[in-house]
Amino acid sequence: MELDHIAVAGALLQQATDHVSRSLGLTPQPGGEHAVFHTHNTLLGLESGLYLEAIAVNPEAPVPDRPRWFDLDRFSGPARLTNWICRCDDLEATLAALPAGFGAPVSLQRGDLRWRMAVPASGILPFDNCAPALMQWEGGNHPAARLAPSGCRLERLTVTHPDAAALAEMLAPMLTDARITFAAGTAGLKAAFDTPTGTRTLV
């Protein structure tokens, strides 16, 4: 299991994109639309093969026949950092090694990008959405490889939750990343970045 990208959600895509721009001083690139869940995004390339996704429900798309991923059906309030996503070499094996609740694989595609994402039937990830979403890329294409360099590097991702210790213990056998820390407190995420204009924080 490796950190793949992080997601900022908004009630509207422009709100999520503007939140990234204000927080980091960098403007995400156009992304695209997602079938199945009927969301759309913009993207910001990060160093070390990571990227940041601003995402929202596409108001011009049909209503999906299932709850949307990232708990977007219940999203309200200002745009904010809501999710972190980890990739796996074997999604089924990773899911089998974890407690129930991380979801079942759903095959997805955006242009020539193909992947499978584990999505809970409710759209809500464990630990009040503070657990990572799990995915497996198919084929050799990855968004980070085609995004313009931003000079922005993730320094730390802090996952806060009342049961943070239990979440950390659950993931420890599969996830080793010094950038990811866990802290007890109100459920939420915070990320610190080294950017061309200095250290910036995204919440």
Closest CA to 156 of 202, 186, 193: 193
Instruction: Say whether 120 sits in a helix, a strand or coil.
Output: coil
Q: How many domains does the chain have?
A: 1
In a domain, 109, yes or no: yes
Quote the percentage of the chain above a pLDDT of 90: 99
Instruction: Look up the domain containing 46 and give its range.
Output: 2-149
Q: pTM (2 decimals)? A: 0.96
In a domain, 63, yes or no: yes
Sorted by sequence, the CB contacts under 8 Å of residue 51 that are 6+ apart come out as 5, 43, 44, 45, 143, 144, 147
Task: Kindly tell me the burial class for residue 126, based on how many C-beta atoms sit within 10 Å of its own C-beta (0-12, 13-18, 19 or more).
Answer: buried
H or E element that contains 20: helix 13-24
Quote the percentage of the chain above a pLDDT of 70: 100
In a domain, 6, yes or no: yes
Which residues pair with residue 87 across a beta bridge?
2, 135
In a domain, 157, yes or no: no
**Interval 142-151 mean pLDDT:** 96
Per-residue pLDDT, 174: 96
In Å, how far from its chain's centre is CA 196?
23
| CATH value at residue 77 | 3.10.180.10
d(Cα 164, Cα 45) in Å, to the nearest integer? 28
d(Cα 174, Cα 2) in Å, to the nearest integer? 8
Per-residue pLDDT, 94: 98
In a domain, 25, yes or no: yes
**Interval 168-197 mean pLDDT:** 97
In a domain, 54, yes or no: yes
In a domain, 67, yes or no: yes
Per-residue pLDDT, 96: 97
**Interval 149-159 mean pLDDT:** 98
**Interval 40-69 mean pLDDT:** 97
Per-residue pLDDT, 125: 98
Per-residue pLDDT, 135: 98
Each residue of 23-46: pLDDT tens digit?
Answer: 999 999 999 999 999 999 999 999
In a domain, 24, yes or no: yes
**Interval 118-142 mean pLDDT:** 97
Per-residue pLDDT, 152: 98
**Interval 165-170 mean pLDDT:** 98
